[in-house]
């Protein structure tokens, strides 16, 4: 466990969060290299299938980041993400996945420092949770029936 | 043309698929006209030993219904695969686990505990659980081993065709049988007896702009028979489910339960449904969204009602 380096997949929206990550980079802010970034046009494009597939394929955590509500380049995409996120968490719990492994954040193009601190914090959280083992038992996964 | 040798087998399933075959009514005689039935436990008196004696490949088509949940199911799946030229996963349970695979939300021990100890009607003072072998005077009696996980057929043996549905409708079964008899099947691995488009495509209801303010369970509302059920707050799986069933549930004023499985190209029906439901909820804040979503009693059980064995995350007992 001590040498555990979490694998985290980050789906970042092209217009805000990816630019925020870029700003963190050009500002030379330090954050862990555990995040593997996938640039998507909009957080609304992040089908829950992507998240499930990432976890199924060996990720320990998934970060979805998009524009702040009201700022979406496609006006509504991030609202769709916001609305299905709690439903996705419920299903994850029932499937026996700790919902702390999947996180949604709004990060604007100007928020380089926020991006770095979110990645720091989330990486630390996943480190605490340990490697994602299929079949980890959650309250909901064991209770529903 | 020589008559086809046809086998139908029933693994972990309710028996509805077998009854659905019988539901082709008098056409069953036409099926008997083009095919010799070499195994059909629900209707004929062939024994497993008869199948074991057959040469490999001597069954032309096997329609295998039911999931693989115990060692007997697995044995028969392997045996019939060896003896059959064409293996068809017939019905939702064989295709993707079906209702039996909802057990994948639980660990094996939890299921045995519930079924043999805790149900209100159970009297089991000796705390007896099923065992795979029991010595008696005449020898040892065997029971199949209960697996940890409910599998779809293609997780155990190679499958050539998939006929979804819980059960497949009689009309579609008849079409599939005709296609088999005529040698008119698509490339191996195809889903037959279903459409390439969603159920919404054949749903006769009027669809306007979906904006859902609250969800209802089907006993809480008598829906308008002409309007889209999803728009009325019923969790209709139509948008992510293959058509082909003739919209039977919809026509009976019941929402689609998703038994015809995911659309072509969709690898996880439940994930796709989360996506589509998210888009139609009428909320502007996370709090509002959560309040509306609280009306969904058992999201995973509803969205993966027929597909838990093949779901990406596969449940708590993987």
pLDDT digits over B263-305, tens only? 999 999 999 999 999 999 999 999 999 999 999 999 999 999 9
Strands (E), A14-116: 35-40, 61-66, 102-106
Q: Give the pLDDT confidence of B39-93 residue by residue, as tens digits.
A: 999 989 999 999 999 999 999 999 999 999 999 999 999 999 999 999 999 999 9
Q: Which residue of B has its CA nearest to A45?
A: B275
Nearest residue in chain A measured CA to CA from B265: A49
CA distance B59 to A58: 41
Query: So what's the pLDDT on residue B172?
Result: 87
Whole-number CA gyration radius for chain A: 15
Q: What is the pLDDT of residue B24?
A: 85
Is the omega angle on the peptide bond into residue A11 within 30 degrees of 0, that is, cis?
no
Q: Rounded to whole angstroms, how far apart are CA atoms B309 and B270?
A: 12
Identify the band that residue B176 occupies on the pLDDT scale cut at 50, 70 and 90.
confident
CB contact under 8 A, A145 and B317: no
Write down the pLDDT at residue B185: 86
Check whether B159 has a pLDDT greater than 50.
Answer: yes
Quote the minimal CA–CA distance from B292 to chain A in Å: 10
Percent of chain B with pLDDT over 90: 83
Statement: residue A35 has pLDDT above 50? yes
The β-bridge partners of B35 are B4
Inter-chain residue contact A91 with B299, CB threshold 8 Å = yes
CATH 3.40.50.700, chain B: domain bounds: 1-193
Q: Is the C-alpha dihedral spanning A65, A67, A73, A74 positive or negative?
A: positive
- CATH number attached to the domain at B1-193: 3.40.50.700
Give the angle subtended at the CA of A115 by the CAs of A14 and B313, to the nearest 5°: 70
- Judged against a pLDDT cut of 70, whether residue A142 lies above it is answered with no
Whether the CB of A96 is below 8 Å from some CB of chain B: the reply is yes
Positive/negative CA dihedral, B74, B80, B85, B86 = negative
Q: Where are the domains of chain A?
A: 8-141
pLDDT of A143 higher than 50 = no
Q: Which of A82-86, B3-7, B17-21, B176-180 has the lowest average pLDDT?
A: B176-180
Instruction: Report the length, in residues, of chain A.
Output: 145
Interface probe with B: pick from A75, A83, A103, A106, most Cβ of B within 10 Å:
A83
pLDDT for res A1: 57
Comparing A143 with B129, the larger pLDDT belongs to B129
**Among B80-84, B224-228, B294-298, B311-315, which is the least confidently predicted range?**
B311-315
d(CA B287, CA B296): 15
Amino acid B68: pLDDT: 97
A40 touches chain B (CB under 8 A): no
The C-alpha atoms of residue B190 and residue B183 are separated, in whole angstroms, by: 14
Q: What was the pLDDT predicted at B233?
A: 95
Best residue in B107, B109, B277, B300 to probe A by mutation, most A CBs within 10 Å? B300
Output the CA torsion sign for B88, B91, B93, B98. Answer: positive
CATH class of A8-141: alpha beta
What is the spatial distance between Cα B160 and Cα B89, in angstroms, rounded to a whole number?
8
Q: B209 contacts in A (CB within 8 Å)?
A: none
């Amino acid at each position: 466990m001590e040498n555990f380096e979490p694998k985290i997949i980050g789906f970042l929206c092209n217009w805000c969060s990816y630019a925020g990550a870029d700003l963190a980079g050009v500002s030379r802010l330090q954050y862990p290299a555990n995040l593997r970034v996938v640039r998507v046009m909009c957080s609304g494009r992040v089908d829950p299938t992507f998240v499930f597939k990432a976890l199924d394929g060996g990720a320990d955590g998934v970060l979805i980041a998009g524009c702040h509500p009201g700022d979406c380049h496609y006006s509504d995409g991030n609202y769709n993400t916001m609305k299905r996120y709690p439903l996705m968490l419920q299903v994850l719990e029932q499937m026996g996945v700790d919902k702390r492994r999947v996180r949604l954040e709004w990060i604007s193009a100007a928020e380089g420092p926020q991006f770095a601190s979110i990645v720091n914090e989330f990486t630390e959280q996943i480190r605490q949770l340990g490697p994602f083992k299929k079949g980890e038992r959650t309250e909901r996964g064991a209770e529903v029936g | 043309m020589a008559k086809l040798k046809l086998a139908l087998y029933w693994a972990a399933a309710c028996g509805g698929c077998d009854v659905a075959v019988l539901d082709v009514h008098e056409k069953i005689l036409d099926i008997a006209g083009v095919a010799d039935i070499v195994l059909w436990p629900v209707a004929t008196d062939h024994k497993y030993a008869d199948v074991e004696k057959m040469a490999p490949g001597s069954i032309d088509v096997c329609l295998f219904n039911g999931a693989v949940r115990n060692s007997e199911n697995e044995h028969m799946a392997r045996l019939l695969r060896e003896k059959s030229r064409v293996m068809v996963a017939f019905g939702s349970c064989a295709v993707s686990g079906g209702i039996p695979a909802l057990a994948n939300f639980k660990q094996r021990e939890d299921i045995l505990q519930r079924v043999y100890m805790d149900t209100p009607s159970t009297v089991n003072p000796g705390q007896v659980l099923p065992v795979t072998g029991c010595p008696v005077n005449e020898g040892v009696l065997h029971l199949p081993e209960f697996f940890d996980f409910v599998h779809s057929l293609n997780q155990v043996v190679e499958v050539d065709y998939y006929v979804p549905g819980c059960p497949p409708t009689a009309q579609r079964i008849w079409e599939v049988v005709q296609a088999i008899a005529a040698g008119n099947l698509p490339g191996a691995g195809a889903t037959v007896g279903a459409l390439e488009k969603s159920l919404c495509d054949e749903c006769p209801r009027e669809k306007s702009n979906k904006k859902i303010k609250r969800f209802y369970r089907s006993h809480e509302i008598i829906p308008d028979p002409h309007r889209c059920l999803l728009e009325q707050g019923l969790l209709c799986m139509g948008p992510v489910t293959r058509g082909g069933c003739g919209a039977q549930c919809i026509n009976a004023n019941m929402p689609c339960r998703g038994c015809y499985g995911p659309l072509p190209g969709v690898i996880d029906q439940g994930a796709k449904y989360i996506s589509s439901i998210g888009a139609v909820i009428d909320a502007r804040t996370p709090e509002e969204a959560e309040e509306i979503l609280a009306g969904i009693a058992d999201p995973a059980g509803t969205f993966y009602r027929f597909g838990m064995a093949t779901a990406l995350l596969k449940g708590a007992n993987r």
